[in-house]
């Protein structure tokens, strides 16, 4: 029998991935000549440089984040901060024993924030990082509900007679509606009265309280306009109410925007744990904490306000530490980035960055006023959020939505949107001045806005009537809609 040498190399090649060779141009490759998978994963692997380019090209169809003028989240961090995040991206923040230094750094951040919020020295504050301020709000709401239920049972209140309720102004961020839906709470939404009163009415909030109220949520930096609720006045009214109430009502401050801005720029403003009835505060690290998206913080002034039945224990350095989170595995990157910022900037640096942002916002406000067609609702003096609407003009045929659409021609993402309940027929526009936005950038925006206004005045001469329905909103809507209608 004759034997021949087996072609092992040929057989192996049948099972070996052979991409285009190194001389193949990126856009001359086999993969660039085919659509990327939509529903089913591709059969074979491809070169990493080709995969990166194709995915990078997909990303180009998103808008430029730095030209997204309405977003609160940070769109720039220093190269060193980015490197810190990359170095920590493989750490799992939930694994306290495996990554003890990440846990230590989280504790340091909690301590720093507690100090910024004037946590009382004679009380034992508790706090944690979260995935954005939305999870922080959820945790704050859960603590209020569980604490109310335990106290109500002790006082003989029938907790099954009706739903517990939460009081907030119509300027709330949608997470509070989600919280109430998910945890079966009645949302008592108090409409903001007028364009001159874009905040929670303290007396109306107290009038809405009863023995089923788990808490009141004032906002430091209302999402729609940037205005502040008067928490000092609310605390005063609530102090009187609680003297005779069958069950006392606490305050949770939603400081998603103001929580890491006010302590540096306006530390004298009283809104935090200096007020007796403020028992918990939530904030966002990725807004004025200057971290990329994905970080929030929530704090309780004392362990009394965080029911033990909500806490779990995890092993940490030979002992057990309490933990309270909804999310589980997540990278430690954002926690380390927040600590980097605290170390990098300090009080002086944060103050300088925020005050410069405020100056840029005031510059924008003056420029808008000079255009002569806008009414300013928030100038950015309190926080770098500039909000405005069109002046009344019967001759003008175009709207804020037309202006927003025209500005996209220049690359700007500056949407128009309606105000909430009681003012939903009023449309406004808003710019959140972030750390990476300069006077020069705002001057270019004002230039393009003037050109856009001139264009619209010339080309839009007939008013269009668009009927607003649940299924059609002209332009950007600032609140999510539930699929299942109430």
With a CB cutoff of 8 Å and minimum separation 6, the contacts of 426 are 195, 389, 418, 419
Query: Is it the case that residue 366 has pLDDT exceeding 80?
Result: yes
pLDDT of amino acid 247:
97
Instruction: Identify the pLDDT of residue 215.
Output: 98
pLDDT of residue 196: 86
pLDDT in tens, 94-128: 888 889 999 999 999 999 999 999 999 999 999 99
- Give the span between the Cα atoms of 424 and 427, in whole angstroms: 7
pLDDT in tens, 180-225: 999 999 999 999 988 888 999 999 999 999 999 999 999 999 989 9
pLDDT 10s digits, 388-411:
999 999 899 999 999 999 999 999
Q: What is the mean pLDDT of the chain?
A: 90
Query: What is the pLDDT, as a whole number, of residue 367?
Result: 98
Asked if residue 467 has pLDDT above 80, the reply is no
pLDDT given at position 327: 85
**Structural domains of the chain, with CATH:** 83-340 (3.40.640.10), 352-459 (3.90.1150.160)
Region 10-22: mean pLDDT is 50
Residue 483 has pLDDT above 90, yes or no: no
- Confidence label for 7 from pLDDT (cuts 50, 70 and 90): low
Query: Does residue 2 register a pLDDT over 90?
Result: no
Structure confidence at residue 486 as a pLDDT band (50, 70, 90): low
Q: Is pLDDT above 50 for 475?
A: no
pLDDT band at 16 (very low <50, low <70, confident <90, very high): very low
Q: What is the mean pLDDT of residues 48-53?
A: 89
Taking residues 259-279, report their average pLDDT: 98
| pLDDT value for 31 | 80
pLDDT at 24: 60
| pLDDT the model gives residue 437 | 94
pLDDT of 154 > 80? The answer is yes
Give me the pLDDT at residue 422, please: 87
Average pLDDT for 47-56: 90
Lowest average pLDDT, out of 314-323, 333-342, 343-352, goes to 314-323
- Mean pLDDT for 26-48 is 85
Confidence of residue 466 (pLDDT cuts 50, 70, 90): low
Provide the pLDDT for residue 274: 98
pLDDT value, residue 123: 96
> Among the listed ranges 53-67, 240-254, 342-356, 439-453, which one has the minimum average pLDDT value?
53-67
């Amino acid at each position: 029998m004759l034997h021949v040498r087996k072609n092992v190399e040929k057989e192996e090649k049948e099972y070996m991935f052979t991409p285009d060779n190194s001389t193949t141009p990126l856009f001359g490759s086999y993969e660039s000549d085919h659509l990327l998978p939509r529903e089913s994963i591709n059969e074979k692997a491809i070169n990493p440089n080709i995969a990166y380019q194709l995915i990078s090209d997909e990303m180009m169809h998103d808008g430029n984040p730095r030209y997204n003028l309405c977003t609160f989240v940070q769109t720039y961090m220093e190269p060193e901060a980015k490197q810190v995040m990359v170095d920590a991206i493989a750490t799992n923040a939930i694994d306290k024993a495996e990554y003890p230094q990440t846990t230590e750094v989280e504790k340091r951040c909690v301590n720093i924030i507690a100090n910024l919020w004037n946590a009382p020295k004679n009380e034992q504050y508790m706090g944690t990082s979260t995935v954005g301020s939305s999870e922080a709000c959820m945790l704050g709401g859960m603590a209020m509900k569980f604490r109310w239920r335990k106290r109500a049972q002790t006082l003989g209140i029938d907790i099954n007679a009706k739903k517990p309720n939460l009081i907030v102004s119509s300027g709330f961020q949608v997470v509070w509606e989600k919280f109430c839906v998910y945890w079966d709470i009645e949302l008592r939404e108090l409409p903001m009265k007028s364009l001159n009163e874009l905040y929670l009415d303290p007396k109306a909030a107290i009038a809405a309280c009863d023995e089923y109220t788990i808490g009141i949520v004032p906002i430091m930096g209302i999402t729609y306009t940037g205005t502040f609720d008067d928490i000092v006045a609310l605390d005063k009214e609530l102090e009187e109410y609680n003297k005779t109430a069958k069950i006392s009502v606490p305050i949770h401050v939603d400081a998603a925007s103001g929580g890491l801005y006010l302590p540096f720029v306006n530390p004298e403003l009283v809104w935090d744990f200096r007020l007796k009835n403020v028992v918990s505060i939530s904030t966002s690290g990725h807004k004025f904490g200057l971290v990329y998206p994905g970080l929030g913080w929530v704090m309780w002034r004392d362990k009394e306000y965080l029911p033990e039945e909500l806490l779990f224990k995890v092993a940490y350095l030979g002992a057990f530490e309490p933990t309270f989170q909804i999310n589980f595995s997540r990278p430690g990157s954002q926690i380390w980035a927040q600590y980097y910022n605290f170390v990098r900037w300090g009080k002086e640096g944060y103050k300088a960055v925020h005050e410069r942002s405020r100056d840029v916002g005031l510059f924008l406000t003056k420029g808008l006023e000079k255009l002569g067609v806008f009414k300013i609702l928030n100038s950015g003096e309190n926080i770098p959020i500039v909000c405005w609407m069109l002046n009344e003009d019967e001759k003008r045929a175009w709207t804020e939505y037309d202006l927003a659409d025209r500005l996209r021609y220049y690359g700007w993402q500056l949407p128009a949107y309606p105000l909430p309940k009681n003012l939903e027929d009023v449309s406004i526009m808003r710019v959140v001045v972030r750390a990476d936005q300069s006077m020069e950038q705002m001057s270019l925006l004002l230039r393009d806005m003037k050109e856009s206004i001139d264009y619209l005045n010339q080309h839009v001469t007939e008013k269009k009537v668009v009927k607003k329905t649940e299924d059609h909103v002209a332009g950007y809507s600032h609140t999510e809609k539930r699929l299942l209608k109430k």
